[in-house]
Structures are given as C-alpha cells and as structure tokens.
Amino acid sequence: MTGPKKGGEAGYLRIATEEAFATVEMLQSFDRVLDGGDPDPGFLSLMGFYMRHKSERATWVFERLKDLGALRIADMDARGIDIQVIGLTSPGPNILDADTATGVTRDANDQLAEACRKHPDRFVGMAAFAAQAPQEAAKEIERAVSSLDMRAAIINSHIQGEYLDAPKFYPVLEAIEAMNVPLYLHPNTPPRAMIGPMLEAGLDGAIFGFGVETGMHALRLITSGVLDRFPKLQVIIGHMGEALPYWMYRLDFMHQAAVKSARYDTMKPLKKGTVSNYLCENFFITNSGMAWEPAVKFAQDVIGKERVLYAMDYPYQCPVEEVVAMDAMEMDIKTKKMFFQENAQRLFKIRL
C-alpha cells in the first residue's frame, strides 16, 4: 500500500481534529487516583488499561499520549496528517478534585501552547478546563483563548457523574460562548450510575460506552434547553456524531411526544422546536474512529457538509489505511476538501 500524499498534493491538507495528549503531571494525579480507595470504575477500566496494562496496544498508545514533539510529528508525517487539533485526553481533569484539576489544566494548557508555538504549522490547541471549579474554569478558558491562542475548549464528558446542563456549569458555557470558540464534547467512560452492565461485558469504553455517555451528554445540552440559554454555542462531537445523526428521526418524534404530553419536568418545549434543528445548527461532527465512507456520507447528508470534519483519534486509532480509505471516498473534490481541510480551518480559525 502506498502511503497517502502529503502537504496538499491530494488537493487538500489533512487537518485531524480530535487528537489526544497527556501531561506527566496529569498522569501522576491519575496514578494517585488509581492507587486510592474505590476509584471510579470507568476510570479504572480506561486508564488502568492504558497506563498499566502490558499489552502492545496500551504501551504504544501511552508512549504517544505523552509526546508533543518529534514522535508525534513523525507519526503525522507517516500518515499524511498536516495539522493536528489537540486536546487533553480522557478523562482529563474531570476525575480529580477541584484544586488539583484546576492546577493540572493550567499547566496542560501552558504545555500545549508551548508545543503549538514550537510547531505553529502542525499543531493547534484546545483548552482544557476544570468544570469542578466553574468560576476558575471560566477564567482559564478566557486565558487560554486570549493569551495562549487556543482555538476551542474541550471537556471529557461527565464531571464525576454531573453534566454541563446543570446550572452550576453555566459560567463555563458562558465563557466559551463569549470567547467565540467551539466546545469539544469528548468521550469519557460512563459514570458509576450508568456503567454497570456495560462494564461487566467489556463494553464500557470506545467500543460502546463512550458513545452512550457522550451522545447522552450532547442530548442533555439540547433537551434541557441549555442551547436556548447559550444559543451561539457550537459543540463538536466526534465518532461520526456519537450515533445522534442516525437517531435523528426518532429523537425528534419521541422528544415531541414527551414534550406534548408533559411527561418529564426536565423536558420542556425548545425554541428551535426539534432536536434535529439543534444538531444541524449548534453541532459539528468529526469522524474520529469512524473512517468509514457510508457513515461519513450519511452525516454529511443529514447534518450538512459544512458541519462534518475529518479526525483521526491519534494515538488511540491511527492506522494509515484509514487515511487512504478516506482519501479514496467517492466524493467530489470540493466536498472532500471541506471535510479534510476547510471546515476545520473555519471552525478553529486556522491560518495557513
């Protein structure tokens, strides 16, 4: 197999928009949680595996998570990735106590900003924040965007079982909206109150639980009315939309039925009417982990070509064959360039 063409030879640059890293300081905090009493079961399953399992997969991924330099760039070159949009890996600060989390995110944002300064044509940064301390998080988002040139904020789904639709997190969403950057709603394992039957079957992680957790979180932002409160907020979800594009018809039907019958106190009429209106106007979708032409085209068809972006999911999932498969999609070059390059350029304000 020939490797993918580089640097725009294909007719577009490849901007991968959901790529992960970890700081040593965060991993040290993770170690303390893993060694503490009764760690969150999803965290134990996820980071217990990637940080401590002896398998080739775990060690390969773990080594790359920690690199923001030569190793990462060599991997990008080998796969034809021109630019990575990088965020702090799951679960990020969410698992830590508020003070530790706040310190970890400031430090991580500084380190990521430094790497972006060193490699301005290869790296773009997304700001981590510790939602556990909402006011501090809002300040950190402002600092990261205005002083560190971050182009998005990223959160790894639930915060110890809580979700961003809770009013305590409004200051965070207000800051993100005010700074005019998108929010990347990235997966986490489901919280203790949801993970049980998934964990016992080995389905808690990227194979299934991530999508359940993140799809639900995205839905909560819609059905709770939070996106009516912060109407300019743009939310990015990966993995081809965590199945929400596929569910769109049923989401609309059952949402309308529940609203009309006043079945739930937590589900009121929405300004834009249907769930799908929010998916098409407040969401961007990346294909991280879903290098699959039928799903890419489905999402383009039902959400809109302007809102579907390329992503790799480095270092968790990054075979070069996936780049080749995406290059080979039967799709006009204009649409393909939107997918690989232009939608990301616009959303993350990338100057080439």
Under the rule (CB under 8 A), what is the footprint of a copy of itself? 49, 53, 55-58, 158, 161, 163, 165, 190-191, 193-198, 200-203, 205-208, 211-212, 215-216, 219-220, 223-224, 239-240, 243, 245-251, 253-255, 257-258, 260-267, 289-292, 294-295, 298, 301-302, 317
Quickly list DSSP for 154-175: EEES-BTTB-TTSGGGHHHHHH
Of 120, 130, 143, 75, residue with least CA distance to 98: 130
Nearer residue to a copy of itself within complex by CB, 175 or 198: 198
Shortest approach of a copy of itself to residue 227 CB, angstroms?
Answer: 14
Shortest approach of a copy of itself to residue 55 CB, angstroms?
Answer: 4
Shortest approach of a copy of itself to residue 299 CB, angstroms?
Answer: 9
Nearer residue to a copy of itself within complex by CB, 159 or 338: 159
Q: What angle do CA 22, 325, 115 make, to 5 degrees?
A: 25
Nearer residue to a copy of itself within complex by CB, 15 or 302: 302
Q: Quote the tokens at residue 321.
A: 């064959």
Shortest approach of a copy of itself to residue 56 CB, angstroms?
Answer: 7
Nearer residue to a copy of itself within complex by CB, 2 or 261: 261
Nearer residue to a copy of itself within complex by CB, 265 or 332: 265
Distance between CA 318 and CA 312 in Å, rounded? 6
Number of H helices, E strands in the chain: 17, 9
Report the chain's C-alpha Rg in angstroms: 19
Nearer residue to a copy of itself within complex by CB, 53 or 346: 53
Quickly list DSSP for 239-275: HHHHTHHHHHHHHHHHHHHHHHHT--TT----TT-SH
Shortest approach of a copy of itself to residue 122 CB, angstroms?
Answer: 26
- Any idea of the CA torsion for 208, 246, 328, 8, to the nearest 10 degrees? -90
Distance between CA 285 and CA 279 in Å, rounded? 9
Shortest approach of a copy of itself to residue 46 CB, angstroms?
Answer: 10
